[in-house]
Chains A and B, each alone.
Chain A
Amino acid sequence: MTPGVAQGTGPFPDSVSNVIGMDEVIADRGGELAHIALNLMTSVMSVTSIDLVAPGPRVPVVLSAGGAADPLFRLLMASLMPEREVYYIEDDSGKPVTETTSAGGFLVGLENLKGTPAYSIDVSAIGYRLVRSQPEKGLVEDLRAYRAEFERLAG
């Protein structure tokens, strides 16, 4: 799959929406292959964005928001960047944290109320814990090739 819904933006601004092998994707009636195809597209776009700003290949990455709740997205991100440490955040019930924005608003409110600077609040108190996503070694080379082909097709 190549992106193109929001043409002119993102790391592939000239890309045109396309699904190569659409028949095969929709022949998988449970939608599992569609789920995989979409995650391959979004993870390659994500990794490309990270490379555009990361000041070195060994800078760690922390995933948040809705995508971080999907184990496939986490696996692909870690396997597309095996040289980086990739983490996501769990709450104390073991669920991935997807809404750090709301918690950020809370910490800003707390700073106003109690005077503690928002960035220095101990977030273990709100139950946050970083969890490492490990790459799947058997996928690394295939994903490297997939990414190269994606970049060729998406421009």
Chain B
Amino acid sequence: MLIDNENNKKDKTILLTTNNIQHYQQQLDDYNINDYKISFANWNDILTITNYSNDENQNNHLDPEFVVLDISTMTVEDTNRQISTTILTRIEDIKRILPKKRMFFILPSESMIKSFLSMKICKQEDIRLHPFSVFDLLDLISITNKKERLQRLHLHDHCMETYSHSDDKIKDAIKFLEIGIRNNEVTLILLDNDINLSDFESLIALHNMDISKLQKEGLLKIVYSEDWYLTFNQKNNTNNTHNNNIATIDIEQTYKKFFDLEDRVTKIEGKNGLRIFGMMDCFFKYGLVDEIVDYDCIRPPIFRKPILSICVYSDTHIKQLSENQIRRLMLTHKKVGFN
């Protein structure tokens, strides 16, 4: 049986599948949510309902904006909080019947997240924990409406991102490039040394982008961060660099390079601006910890020129910074992806 929490007509529907309909219904009855109607379905009925509702010839066509599957009200197979095969099959069936619908999952506890993720049922950001309130539902509505993070960054923003894994950095660098191409902005990617250039270029090519063409048109520039930012007294000599400070950064010269490039691409090459994805690992490799903070914090959160810059840090390096250095970084950047 499908139960709606509102009789009045609302444009959009959310499907909440749970074995505790009464609990949610009581809670939702106490609140006014604009524009959205919540339809409830019991886990036992869900397949019948979605099968029926998916038939567009039927009058009662159900086309939810997104689906919330409350796993916390289902039984679990054992005390180790393993997902039962029944649940798994049911989820797969729902996904098959409602393809392309974003699904959120309410898990009973944090301990279940790891095993849930290992089954590749969903991404971490689509998981919520019990107890789930009307405000959590409101948040799900908002995140299904908002743009993806990299899409929300604009020219003039001085931003900071942190990553736990190099793979995620690479994925975002490629997405960042794709957006840049669409916006007729030049993308400068400053690579960490541990990323192989030809591997990186192959990954870009996998996204149907012709690197030679992009470089010829001036839309893409890839340089190793170390070569862009640092000056070496003895190039390639990494012995005792931490103590002897062989590597240095000339802050003014480095910014001048960015500004000169921006001038060239906007005034001569007719592009809309310069976007920079700058990976910062090299500073930490050479022990330039205070230097990177000083360098990064010299610029305000908003550039006057049409430059979008993301300063890309690794989580492990952030842990090396003092509270005060982190505070400075947080206050220097307009947008901070530090989750």
Bound pair (A, B): no
